[in-house]
Amino acid sequence: MIKVEGFVEKGKVLGEYVNSTVDLFITGISLEERCPKGWQMLKEKNIKIKNKVIFYFKEVIKGFNQKSIENPQKYFDKLFDNSPRDCKLDVSLYDEITGLMELEKYLNDSFSELKDKKVVIDFSIMIKPYIFILLKYLLYVRNMEKIYLLYTEPASYHKLRLKKVLKNNNQEDSEYFTKGTVKIGEVPTYSGEQELTKKSALIVLLGFEGERAVQVLNAVSPDLTIPVNGFPAYRPEFKDRSILSNEELLKDSEIMKELMYAPANDPFETKNTLEEIYLKYYENYNISVSPLGTKPMAIGSCLFALEHSSVRIIYPYPLEYNIKSSKGFGEIWNYTVSILR
């Protein structure tokens, strides 16, 4: 049984590790402009990074090749000031388990003990199942007590796929978040421990891809569905956009009447909202959460599930992620997660 706590700071403050060192910095590559921002901020603050692990996602490298950049490896090496001692993991975006195994190999070789080290993860561009399994591994297997998370907001997102967009022959690859579906599955290690006699409740953290929410709903067929919208959103119009995108889910008045809100950029508030729902329903329902909203909200659901082993996380694994789904960058947030055992 663990208890997860934490607090949020804007990047400029950066709490405890200003004028300090970071033992391990973990991030990944993407074509999104916000990708290197967390790293650049640490550099600007003259924070010493002792070790660096970067997930070189194969699909991103391939995406770069298509855009005729001569050497994407070199491009990212330069972007992150990589030195030979930094660890670059060639992994697939779609295989978080192998990604984790590769990371484990590196950690076993580089650290005898990780528990008291200062680890910063920039998860701005990481896909959600990666974040979930990474946090579980570090907190449960490596027994870490504190982890620092960095998140750079996007300035905006590209337009979603709409029929009108399809009409336009100049459609770019950037006009979707995900494509297709591999499966609707439980995130590995987050299957929860369900009581077979209970009913089932599904909490959907709403995102911009409404069809995904309906997919999850159909796969789980819950007795109760509680949608949670990101509000306040990064930008005021995002709140309405996620409601409009989820019209298909919300047209059921039984679902609409349960609608709740949690801030789009505060994992701890999301966790509190989920906690509130949990307290109300856990006695009669097995709780499943589907993190389709922002990444900070997904972190909130991850922390919530880490605290409640009965909770399961359901994710619609897409066939394809858009490696350039956002434009520009906004605020940088620092989330400090502490575990009380």
Partner 1 sequence: MNKDQKMDLINPFASFNASLMNDDEIMKYWVQPQILFERQAIGVDLTGNIPVILMGGRGTGKTTLLKFMSNEVQVKKYLSEHKDGRNFFKDTPYIGVYYRFDGPSLSSFTDRHAEEVIWETLFKHYFEIVIGQKYIAMLLNLKKNKCLNFNSKSEKNIVYKAMMFIDTDYPQKEEICTLENFSKILQSMADKIFQFINEAPLQKEPEFRSRPIIPPGKLIFGMAELFIEEIPEFQRKNIVILLDEYENLLLQQQKIVNTLIKHVKQPVTFRIGARINGFRTYDTLNEGEFLMEDADYRKILFEDILLSHTEKYKNLLKEIARKRLESINMFNENNLTDIEEWLGNFDPVNEALEVVSGRKVQNHHINKYKNQKHIQEIIKELKKRNISDVEIDKLLPQLIYPKNTLIEMLNLLLLRRKYSPKEIINLFNSYIARKKNESKFEIYKDLYEKNKLALLFQLISLYSPKKKMYAGFDVFSMLTSGIIRNFLELCYQCFNIALFYEGEELLKKRRISQKYQTEGAETRAEKFYNVIDIIPKYGNNIKSLVGSLGAVFNACHMDSRLREPEVTYFCVDKSLLSEDVRKILNTAVQWSVLQQKKSMKSKSPTELLLDVYALNHILAPYFCISYRLRGRIPAFSKRDIETLIFGNDDEKRKTIRRLGRWLDIDKRQLSLFDLIEVEKGD
Chain residues in the site for partner 1 (CB under 8 A): 97, 100, 133, 136-137, 140-141, 163, 166-167, 169, 179-186, 188-197, 211-212, 214-215, 217-223, 225, 248, 251-254, 288, 309, 312, 314, 316, 319
- Residue 5's beta-bridge partner residues? 338
Using the minimum distance from each CB to partner 1, give the nearer residue, 188 or 232.
Answer: 188
User: Residue 255: which H helix or E strand, with range?
Assistant: helix 253-256
Residue 54 to residue 82: CA distance in whole angstroms: 9
**Contact between 3 and 336 (Cβ < 8 Å):** no
Other Cβ atoms less than 10 A from the Cβ of 233: the count is 19
**Least spacing, CB of residue 256 vs partner 1, in Å:** 9
**Contact between 183 and 44 (Cβ < 8 Å):** no
**Contact between 324 and 35 (Cβ < 8 Å):** no
Using the minimum distance from each CB to partner 1, give the nearer residue, 16 or 193.
Answer: 193
Other Cβ atoms less than 10 A from the Cβ of 271: the count is 25
Residue 319 to residue 68: CA distance in whole angstroms: 24
Residue 249 to residue 47: CA distance in whole angstroms: 45
**Least spacing, CB of residue 307 vs partner 1, in Å:** 14
Using the minimum distance from each CB to partner 1, give the nearer residue, 7 or 140.
Answer: 140
User: Residue 60: which H helix or E strand, with range?
Assistant: helix 58-66
Using the minimum distance from each CB to partner 1, give the nearer residue, 18 or 97.
Answer: 97
Residue tagged 């650049």 (tokens): 40
Using the minimum distance from each CB to partner 1, give the nearer residue, 73 or 200.
Answer: 200
**Considering Cα of 195, then 196, then 199, then 205, what sign does the dihedral take?**
positive
**Least spacing, CB of residue 180 vs partner 1, in Å:** 5
**Least spacing, CB of residue 305 vs partner 1, in Å:** 11
Residue tagged 């400090």 (tokens): 336
The secondary structure of residue 128, as a DSSP letter, is: H
**Least spacing, CB of residue 329 vs partner 1, in Å:** 29
- Residue 179's beta-bridge partner residues? 320
For strands 3-10 and 312-317, give the pairing. unpaired
**Least spacing, CB of residue 124 vs partner 1, in Å:** 25
Using the minimum distance from each CB to partner 1, give the nearer residue, 190 or 278.
Answer: 190
**Least spacing, CB of residue 21 vs partner 1, in Å:** 29
Using the minimum distance from each CB to partner 1, give the nearer residue, 263 or 291.
Answer: 291
**Least spacing, CB of residue 209 vs partner 1, in Å:** 9
Other Cβ atoms less than 10 A from the Cβ of 124: the count is 27
Using the minimum distance from each CB to partner 1, give the nearer residue, 84 or 180.
Answer: 180
